[in-house]
Amino acid sequence: MLRTWLTDRFDLGLPLISAPMGGASDGRFAAEVCRLGALGMVAAGTRTTPEYIRQETEMLAAHHGAWGVGLLAWVVEQKPELIEAVETLAPPLVSVSYGNYASYIPRLHDVGSTVTTQVNSLAEALTAAAAGVDFLIARGGEGGGHGRNEMATLPLLQELLENIDLPVVAAGGIATGRGLAAVLAAGAAGAWVGSAFLACEETAWPDGSKKRVVAAGDGDTIYTTSFDVGLGLDWPPGFGGRALANDYSDRWHGREQELAGSPSPPVGEEAPIWAGQGVSLVTRLQTVADVIAEFQEAENLLRRW
Ligand SMILES: Cc1cc2nc3c(=O)[nH]c(=O)nc-3n(C[C@H](O)[C@H](O)[C@H](O)COP(=O)(O)O)c2cc1C
């Protein structure tokens, strides 16, 4: 069995966390990840309510040792009732990313949660360490959904491991046992994986989106702010998102200022399907068990070397 700081801290069978993905990782999905020995996160996305968080985590709290909730810091700033709901639930793991998260860390520590955030540069990592996170998520710009795009996963991971004395979990583009083996060999405590789970039966996403993910190949994603500007979402400066490129991003990417002046939201076929470069490796509709079995291969690969 692969043992790292992460598996010891949360008593996991595999050093892997399923990343919170707004609209995709609900309680049913996260529970299946937990049942299979990894750590499942429920996403509290842009439209989340305290009721949603309570409802989706109910079965996790009742049946699983380690599970988590992923918050968006800039949304919590607008809806403080979200952090209050999470404090009451006291999940074993809470991630608070993208925005001013520092004041939430002591509050979450007080209820016994382990706290982390996603960073994309050494400077951001140092700020997070000073704010008191228990471990760092080194999230490269090749990852799906939101984040910064300053650094790719591998250079960022090496930089943080060289410079900061905190456990580091790698994220962005890790989609197979090979990817997990690579980051563990480099010294990461585990992987934080989103896109690889997008075409799972248990993922709370429309079938059409899953099929688009399966069909996507190399070069089919784009890092852009055009979808957020079009949707009128207030992501803090410097945060864009990686999604499957489509007619909307073809039309508006690079013309965001113009778009801000004339609202034309991406809807229907043009709505964003957030996904990272790892989607090239998602080639069929599958189950969470299939994806976890694929990641288990990391152990054989590492033993071989
Ligand atoms: C569809 C989708 C939705 C996401 N939503 C969130 C979110 O609500 N909160 C969050 O912290 N990260 C979110 N992310 C980012 C993930 O936490 C993670 O950084 C990313 O999936 C890692 O890269 P990968 O997709 O290549 O595995 C999302 C990612 C995707 C693909």
Residue that is written with structure tokens 């934080």 in the block: 192
Q: How is the beta sheet containing 145-147 ordered, strand by strand?
A: 145-147, 240-244, 221-224
* H helices present in the chain, as ranges: 5-10, 27-35, 50-63, 73-78, 81-89, 104-110, 122-131, 153-163, 177-186, 207-215, 226-231, 247-252, 256-261, 288-304
Ligand 1 close to Cβ of residue 275 (< 6 A): yes
pLDDT of residue 44: 97
45 lines ligand 1 (CB under 6 A): yes
Give me the CATH code for the 5-205+283-304 domain, please.
3.20.20.70
Query: Which single residue is written with the structure tokens 């930089």?
Result: 159
Query: What phi, psi does 251 have (nearest 5°)?
Result: -80, -40
Residue percentage of the chain with pLDDT more than 70: 100
Q: b/e map of 29-39 (b: 16 or more CB within 10 Å)?
A: bbbbbbebbbb
pLDDT confidence bin for 141, thresholds 50/70/90: very high
16 token code pair: 């892997």
Nearest-angstrom CA–CA distance, 104 and 117? 11
Q: Which DSSP letter does residue 277 get?
A: G
Please indicate whether residue 20, judged by its CB atom, sits closer than 6 Å to ligand 1.
yes
Distance from Cα 145 to the centre of ligand 1, integer Å? 5
Distance CA 137, CA 190 (A): 9
Which residue minimizes the CA distance to atom 10 of ligand 1?
20
Whether the predicted pLDDT of 63 surpasses 90: no
The pLDDT of 112-131, averaged and rounded, is: 98
Share of the chain above pLDDT 90, in %: 96
Q: What is the mean pLDDT of the chain?
A: 97
Rounded to whole angstroms, the Cα distance separating 223 from 144 reads: 9
CA 20 to ligand 1 centroid distance, Å: 6
Residue of minimum CA distance from atom 3 in ligand 1: 21
Residue 211 pLDDT greater than 90, yes or no: yes
How far is residue 298's CA from residue 302's CA, in Å, rounded to a whole number? 6
Q: In the chain, where are the structural domains located?
A: 5-205+283-304, 208-270
* Chain segment 178-204, per-residue pLDDT in tens: 999 999 999 999 999 999 999 999 999
Q: 118: Cβ below 6 Å to ligand 1?
A: yes
Report the separation in Å between the CA atom of 19 and the middle of ligand 1, taken as the mean of its atom positions: 6
Residues 225-278: pLDDT tens digits?
A: 999 999 999 999 999 999 999 999 999 999 999 999 887 999 999 999 999 999
| Distance of CA 59 from the midpoint of ligand 1 (Å) | 22
The finding on whether 137 has its CB within 6 A of some atom of ligand 1 is no
Full-prediction pTM beyond 0.85? yes
Residue of 16, 17, 18, 21 to mutate, ligand 1, most atoms within 8 A of C-beta: 21
In the chain, the amino acid numbered 104 is Y
Q: Is the Cβ atom of 194 under 6 angstroms away from ligand 1?
A: yes
